[in-house]
Structure 1
Amino acid sequence: MFRTALRNVLAHKARLLMTVLAVMLGVAFVSGTLVFTNSLSNAFQNSSAKGFTHVDVAVEATYQEGSGDQVGKRAELTQELLDDSARVPGAASAIGVVRGFTAIADKDGKLIGDGFRSQGGNYWGSEDPRYPLKSGTAPHGEDQVLIDSETARRAGYEVGDTLRVSVDGPVLTPTVTGIFTTDDGNVAAGGSLTLFDTATAQKLFGKPGTYDEIDVKAKAGVGQAALKAQLDRALPGDRTGTTTGEQLADDQARMIADSMSGMKRGLLVFAGISLFVGTFIIANTFSMLVAQRTKELALLRAVGASRRQVTRSVLIEAFVVGTVAAVTGLVAGIGINAGLKSLMEALGATIPEGPVVITPGTVVSALAVGILVTMLAAWLPGRRAAKIPPVAAMSGLHAKATTRSLVLRNTVGALFSGAGVAVVLTATTMDADSAQAPMGLGAVLLIIGVFVLTPLLSRPLIAATAPVLRAFGVAGRLARQNAVRNPRRTAATAAALMIGLTLITGMTVMAGSLQQAIDRMASSALRADYVVSMANGNSLSPDIGEKLRATEGVTATSPLRNAPSRIEGETEYLTGVNGSAIGELTDLKVKDGSFTVGGTRVVVDDETAKSYRWKAGSSFTVAYEDGGKQKLTVAGVYEGNEMIRGIMLDNATLSPHQSDPTDMQVMVRTAGGTSDAAKDKLVKALGSNPAIQIMDKKDISNNIAQMFTLMLNMLYGLLAMAVVVAVLGVINTLAMSVFERSQEIGMLRAIGLDRRGIKRMVRLESLVISLFGGVLGIGLGVFFGWAAGELLGTRMATYELVLPWGRLAVFLLLAATVGVLAALWPARRAARLNMLQAIKSE
């Protein structure tokens, strides 16, 4: 039986190739995902670990929680603590670390790198072991800086060039005195690092005489744990905490692994989708293979082979196919790793250099997935073939499905579908966080149910194409009959395409509705023409608001200033605004009272008001960060959203209680509304600062939706794999269908149907099957998009379902294109059959 199985594999090379390709693509995606995430994680971990080679123990300031009406704050690392750290017996040296946001403009005046990774720091003394100089000398004063070598390479800067730099304030124009190398993870991920001398960094970052961290290097022979113990005894424990360099590296590695786990799970979901689709194709393929060899298997049974041996021969064939596919898929996965890396870089991500990591787990996973999926897909057809009585099989009277089996299949499909719909509908009524698992379960149940019901659905849906197919004459009528002749085969073929289009359609519907909701939210909540903020999300200097207010053409401005406070023993953040202008700059729905801000009168969003049981006219006592207390009155309650929420009070009331007032953003309204000229005036008024972004409503909407757009684009690219697998499935089905119908095709040729008619018949059959899968996929995708949108609607009042009819039409056209392309080779093969040989074939 083993030799028989091997002979069957090698006897049909084209069939073998198509089956191997279907499995290989799924395996390649799994192995490629594992190789990519392991390599990326390893590269980031190696990069971050190098950054801790000069730190044996790090001393950090602790956060001191407030009690009662007192607001908590972070302790300070002073020069005295630095000196004490350097004097412990096991310390060889101690470096005071200063950090802050520093933006560098390129030669065109635009921000270099990602704003969130644009960092600044201090260069320690005349030689800093953390940052070896590649060229130049150490900086001194505000007019000198060092930049990292990667930033210098990307922007084309050299020693002696003048930079435009912003450090949370006015634009500086220092000279580059040196270029250094670094293993900083932010730089490796596409950011920039700018270094000043220590005194300048402390002044620019608003930390005169203090440090963000103290890095202590141990003497030779002193372990990190011993040095940590010495520092814990020497430093005040209520103000400082210590961590070893090894622990910092481990924590960083764990953080990177955790952040990569989300990406790995997401990519593996798509790999699972490809395998899920591939499983249908493999099962379909083996069903047809077994059907074609029914007489051969019956003969084996007649000469003494048992049912178990027949099943085993099919499984051996599947094992050989799965092994070949798994090995080639593992090799192809390395290529997919390179493709995913290129895709990430094309989407704007910077990935550190590192070796390709192929772990034993990746190899085992690839082999297990390829072999097990193929053998599981082949088991049912093999078992079904073994049950056919030898005499019935040899007489060709076997293949009809019984009424009982059809009723059972349709009942199971209806139960699964009904349960899936019920679970999804129930999930839409639940809280968004707790509804994710039920929503996923319902989606799986519904997809399985529809797949099981697909043979039943194929007849009425394909019959609906009859009026169109009649226009193609005999070929059209034959194509329709062929498509419904074997509903199970048609269903398995269409299901592959259905699953891919379900996911694409669902994500597209949800993303389009979300984009419109964000647009509506931005336009309904804001009357301001522009919102000015820092590129990295940090706070703005109050000088920015003053400059904007004095700019020609500006009619109203309001800084938004956040400050911690204590209310009824709980920490709450207050939002300071320009009370006289905020009503002109926002358009928030008032639910109770009036939108009046000034003096001790404040407005509160509905969620906060509900939590404290406030209404218009309610009073409460607030404890500010300086310890001062004040009684405030709720003038109105407004409907908050993702952009604006919280307790708003006048800056004139809030600012006297702040030691260092800063603004999160500034709203601006201009006389002529938004225009390029108005934006240019604002840019110039702020000194063409690369760290400051000026956004209108459309920019704000696009900025919020950017992540969803990126995910959607990646989804389209990744699901293209499922579509490729689906194309292979259609080709496989048609090719085997042509083989099965060789005698029939020969008869059609003999009675007058020419080669062009044969080609048209096969192409139309493929087109009908693909459109059938496309209609099911788009229908399910719209349902899932609606259901997911219902969950989003609980968090976003402006959300409502929007159907992207244009894209849905494109997806249906994509399904039709899949059908046309998949039919090219089978149609050509059918047309080239020799009619006499085909008629004689059995």
Structure 2
Amino acid sequence: MFRTALRNVLAHKARLLMTVLAVMLGVAFVSGTLVFTSTISAAQQKSSEKGFTGVDVAIQPHRQDGDKGNPGDAPKLSQRLLDQAAAVPGAAGATGTVSGFAAIADKHGELIGEGFNSTGANYYAGTGGKDARYPLKSGRAPHGPGEIALDAKTAERGGYKVGDTVRVSVDGPVLQQKLAGVFTTDDGNVSAGGSLALFDTATAQKLYGKPGEFSEIHVKAAAGTSQAALKSAVEKVLPADAEATTGKQLADEQARMIAQDQDAQRTILLTFAGIALFVGIFIIANTFTMLVAQRTKELALMRAVGASRRQVTRSVLIEAFLIGTVAGVAGLVTGIGIGVGLRSLLKGNGAPLPDGPLVVEPSTIVVSLAVGILVTMLSAWLPGRRAAKIPPVAAMNSVHAVPTTRSLVVRNSLGATLTAIGAAIVLTASGSQMMGLGAGVVLIGVFVLTPLLSRPLIAAAAPVLRLFGMPGKLARQNAVRNPRRTAATASALMIGLTLITGLTVIAGSVQQAIDKMATSSMKADYVVSMASMTSLSPDVEKKLAAHPDVTATSPLRMSPSRIDGEFQNLTGVNGATIGKLTKLDFTSGSFAGLSGDKVVIDDATARSYHWKLGSSVPVTFEDGKKGTLTVSGVYKGNDLMRGIMVDTKTIAPHQSEISDRQVMVKTKNGAGESVKESLRKTLGDNPAVQIQTKKDISNGIAKGINLLLNVLYGLLAMAVVVAVLGVINTLAMSVFERQQEIGMLRAIGLDRKGIKRMVRLESLVISLFGGVMGIGLGVFFGWAAGDLIAKALNTYELVLPWGRMGLFLLLAAVVGVLAALWPARRAAKLNMLSAIKAE
């Protein structure tokens, strides 16, 4: 039986090639995902380990329980604590670190690196006036508030040399700094494409904290002292608001966080690999069903000469094992190339990925081969088992060829029941889990019903097919001749288009909801913020307010507080102008008189605290002082505007450091490029500061949505490619099955052009059937998901992207036309006499 199975594989090389490709693509996606995530994870962990070199114990701020201390108090690490840590037994020295955001502009005024990876820190001059973390490549360490040092990669990208003037922004205003030195570093942030600027310690403390205070203190152990022993010694001098952690613990925690991030990415990518494999299952099962059907007499003869049912099933599974092994190996090799290419592609597009060697773990090899073999054998098991059950005499007479009516009735009844149950769950669901369950049941039900649905939907195309004469009529009859086969072929394409359409519907609806939200809640012409979303200096608002074209400004300024024992952010605004800059729907009260102890709150916060107009709000400000605020308005919050708003003059006396999250600006003549450019010049042409109109905000969100959507399209394209292979495979094998029929058609007058047209139209009808079903299901899932999204995004409305759905249907038609090229050509080349005699 093994030799027979091997002979069958070798005898049907051309017909099984498409099956191998379908499995190979799915396996390649799986192995490529594992290689990519393993490589990036290993590189990030290596960078993280380098970052903790020389750190044996780290002292970090540690806030006590949430109900202790003042809301705004952050634990501080003082110079006194640093000196004490450096003097403990077993310590070889200690380094104080200060860090924050620092945007570096190149000589053309453009931001170097990604905004979120632009970091500033202190050069801690220790023994010999050097900082061992940052070996100088040229120049010297920075001294005083007017000097800076840059990492070598940033200096090279910006075209800077020692002595040049560098434009730097920490919180808005532009600082003109002299480049004192260039250093090298193993910092993972820099290797991933970020930038690192160093100030002297006093300057960094002034920019990022307070004089004499540090973000962390790193203690180095003396020779012969373990990290655990040093930690015990350091803990004896720690205040209550600080904690000590060994360098190994920090590295392990960093590695754990990196692994978590990679697990999330791996799960997303493997989900799409699973979709491609799921589509492949349809193709493989369809292929083996047709192969078994073509070899029915051969299998019956084997049964007649003594082969058991188990041996027949086993021979089919052996074929599947051999095909799956070949496909698994090819998919593994291809996947390694995909992993390398994906990393290069993302780095080429500016993604912050660290450098590192390619990592192919043993588990990747095992998983890839196992997936290829198991998916193929699982898909082939049912056709093999079905073939083994056919009585030899019936098989020799081809009695089995047509599916029984009873089996179709059972299938249709099961499909209708599942679809009805799923629809009922979706319509009555109150949460995302039940909604997802219902949608999944509907999808399964429609899959089961696809053979039944194929007849009326394909029949609807009859008037168009008649225009093509006899080839069109034959194409329609061929498409509905075996509804199970048609359904299996169309389902592969249907899955991909279902997901693509559903995602497009959701993305388009969310984008319109965001547009509507931005338009309906803001009167401001511009919103000014840092590109990194870090804090703005209050000087930014002062400069904007002094601009001759500006009529009103208001900051959004966060101040932590405690209300009813819970931490809540108070949002400081200009009470006199906020009403001119926002357009919020108040359920009671208004912005009028927002000053002193008056506050306005969003409706969700009001409900959670049972507040209403006139309610008293006891509050503990960030400096620990207590007060009572009065609710003077309740508005409907949204994702752009929500929270407790209070006049900035009310919270300013309680703030130790004043900074803004963003500034809203209204001008005389509304938004325009000339005014925008004028505002930009007022702020010193700072690349780290973004000035956005309502449209810019919406487009920025849209850009992120479209980028995500394009990535998903690219991932789902794998499923569509596999579906194309399925259509080609089905048509090619169908042509082989119908050799006698095609030969007879040629003999009675249908020319080669007519044969080609018949096969192409059959492919087109099957592909369009899958396209219509996929788009319909996609709209349904988009609607179901939108019903849940609308609960969190109150401006959400279902938007059907008719243009894109038309494009998807056209894509299905193109798939049908392309998939039919080779089978149609093959059918037209058949010799009519040889085909008529073929068995």
Q: Same fold (TM over 0.5)?
A: yes
Aligned to 2:58: 58
TM-score of the two chains, using structure 2 as the length reference = 0.98
1:163 aligns to what SS in structure 2?
A: strand
In structure 2, distance between residues paired with 1:780 and 1:344: 32
**Larger CA deviation: 686-695 vs 252-261:** 686-695
Aligned to 1:276: 278
Matched, 1:814 2:811: yes
Query: Displacement of 1:197 after TM fit?
Result: 1.2
Aligned to 1:13: 13
1:148-159 correspondence runs (5 A): 148-159=151-162
1:341-380 correspondence runs (5 A): 341-380=343-382
Matched, 1:445 2:438: no
Mapped contact 2:81–2:237 kept (Cα < 8 A): no
Aligned to 2:166: 163
- 1:598-618 per-position Cα deviation (integer Å, ceiling 9, x unaligned): 222221110111112111122
Matched, 1:132 2:129: no
Aligned to 1:683: 680
Mapped contact 2:73–2:623 kept (Cα < 8 A): no
Query: Displacement of 1:199 after TM fit?
Result: 1.5
Aligned to 1:505: 501
**Larger CA deviation: 578-587 vs 348-357:** 348-357
Query: Displacement of 1:628 after TM fit?
Result: 2.8
Residue of structure 1 aligned with 2:777, choices 780, 783, 788: 780
Matched, 1:77 2:77: yes
Query: Displacement of 1:346 after TM fit?
Result: 4.8
Aligned to 2:112: 112
Aligned to 2:384: 382
Aligned to 2:194: 191
Query: Displacement of 1:255 after TM fit?
Result: 0.7
1:686-697 correspondence runs (5 A): 686-697=683-694
Residue of structure 2 aligned with 1:744, choices 738, 741, 746: 741
Aligned to 2:653: 656
**Larger CA deviation: 458-467 vs 540-549:** 540-549
Residue of structure 1 aligned with 2:211, choices 187, 192, 208: 208
- 1:471-499 per-position Cα deviation (integer Å, ceiling 9, x unaligned): 00111001000000111110000000000
In structure 2, distance between residues paired with 1:154 and 1:69: 45
Mapped contact 2:72–2:621 kept (Cα < 8 A): no
**Aligned-partner residue type, residue 680 of structure 2:** V
**Larger CA deviation: 29-38 vs 165-174:** 165-174
Aligned to 1:331: 333
Query: Displacement of 1:15 after TM fit?
Result: 1.3
Query: Displacement of 1:192 after TM fit?
Result: 1.0
Mapped contact 1:66–1:73 kept (Cα < 8 A): no
Aligned to 2:586: 590
1:289-308 correspondence runs (5 A): 289-308=291-310
Residue of structure 2 aligned with 1:702, choices 699, 703, 728: 699
Mapped contact 2:35–2:336 kept (Cα < 8 A): yes
Q: What is the percentage of aligned positions where both structures have the same residue?
A: 69
In structure 1, distance between residues paired with 2:391 and 2:410: 22
1:176 aligns to what SS in structure 2?
A: strand
Matched, 1:670 2:672: no
In structure 1, distance between residues paired with 2:680 and 2:470: 70
Mapped contact 1:595–1:638 kept (Cα < 8 A): no
Query: Displacement of 1:782 after TM fit?
Result: 0.6
2:113 aligns to what SS in structure 1?
A: coil
Aligned to 1:255: 257
How many residues align? The count is 835
Gap runs ≥5 in structure 1: none
Query: Displacement of 1:69 after TM fit?
Result: 9.1
Query: Displacement of 1:65 after TM fit?
Result: 4.5
Query: Displacement of 1:300 after TM fit?
Result: 0.7
Query: Displacement of 1:152 after TM fit?
Result: 2.3
- 1:56-92 per-position Cα deviation (integer Å, ceiling 9, x unaligned): 1101122245648942522211111110011011111
- 1:194-240 per-position Cα deviation (integer Å, ceiling 9, x unaligned): 0011112112223211111111111111111111011011222x021
Query: Displacement of 1:511 after TM fit?
Result: 0.4
Aligned to 1:467: 463
Aligned to 2:407: 405
Aligned to 1:40: 40
**Aligned-partner residue type, residue 23 of structure 1:** V
Mapped contact 1:766–1:819 kept (Cα < 8 A): yes
Aligned to 2:100: 100
TM-score of the two chains, using structure 1 as the length reference = 0.97
In structure 2, distance between residues paired with 1:64 and 1:405: 68
Query: Kindly tell me: are residues 69 and 189 of structure 1, through their superposed partners in 2, closer, same or farther at Cα, counting changes over 3 Å?
Result: closer
Query: Displacement of 1:786 after TM fit?
Result: 1.0
Matched, 1:228 2:224: no
In structure 2, distance between residues paired with 1:4 and 1:449: 38
**Larger CA deviation: 615-624 vs 831-840:** 615-624
Mapped contact 1:36–1:340 kept (Cα < 8 A): yes
Residue of structure 2 aligned with 1:537, choices 530, 533, 539: 533
**Aligned-partner residue type, residue 611 of structure 2:** W
In structure 2, distance between residues paired with 1:113 and 1:647: 35
- 1:319-366 per-position Cα deviation (integer Å, ceiling 9, x unaligned): 100111011111111011123223423553121111111112111111
Matched, 1:568 2:570: no
In structure 2, distance between residues paired with 1:748 and 1:410: 34
1:175 aligns to what SS in structure 2?
A: strand
**Aligned-partner residue type, residue 453 of structure 1:** L
- 1:361-390 per-position Cα deviation (integer Å, ceiling 9, x unaligned): 111111111111111110111111111111
- 1:400-439 per-position Cα deviation (integer Å, ceiling 9, x unaligned): 2222211111122122222332333344x22xxxx2x334
Gap runs ≥5 in structure 2: none
Mapped contact 1:65–1:71 kept (Cα < 8 A): no
1:476 aligns to what SS in structure 2?
A: helix
- 1:516-545 per-position Cα deviation (integer Å, ceiling 9, x unaligned): 111111111110000111122121111111
**Aligned-partner residue type, residue 17 of structure 2:** L
In structure 2, distance between residues paired with 1:438 and 1:35: 35
**Aligned-partner residue type, residue 705 of structure 2:** F
Query: Displacement of 1:634 after TM fit?
Result: 1.3
**Aligned-partner residue type, residue 45 of structure 1:** Q
Residue of structure 2 aligned with 1:619, choices 591, 613, 616: 616
Mapped contact 1:469–1:476 kept (Cα < 8 A): yes
Query: Displacement of 1:169 after TM fit?
Result: 4.2
**Larger CA deviation: 168-177 vs 376-385:** 168-177
Query: Kindly tell me: are residues 293 and 67 of structure 1, through their superposed partners in 2, closer, same or farther at Cα, counting changes over 3 Å?
Result: closer
In structure 1, distance between residues paired with 2:817 and 2:393: 40
In structure 1, distance between residues paired with 2:631 and 2:641: 17
In structure 1, distance between residues paired with 2:123 and 2:629: 47
Mapped contact 2:72–2:623 kept (Cα < 8 A): no
1:234 aligns to what SS in structure 2?
A: coil
Aligned to 2:524: 528
Mapped contact 1:561–1:663 kept (Cα < 8 A): yes
Query: Displacement of 1:172 after TM fit?
Result: 1.3
**Aligned-partner residue type, residue 341 of structure 2:** G
**Aligned-partner residue type, residue 231 of structure 1:** V
Aligned to 2:176: 173
Query: Displacement of 1:580 after TM fit?
Result: 1.0
In structure 2, distance between residues paired with 1:424 and 1:111: 48
Residue of structure 2 aligned with 1:425, choices 412, 418, 427: 427
- 1:150-202 per-position Cα deviation (integer Å, ceiling 9, x unaligned): 22233333333221101224211212222222222222332211001111211
**Larger CA deviation: 541-550 vs 399-408:** 399-408
Mapped contact 2:513–2:797 kept (Cα < 8 A): yes
Query: Displacement of 1:40 after TM fit?
Result: 0.9
Mapped contact 2:75–2:241 kept (Cα < 8 A): yes
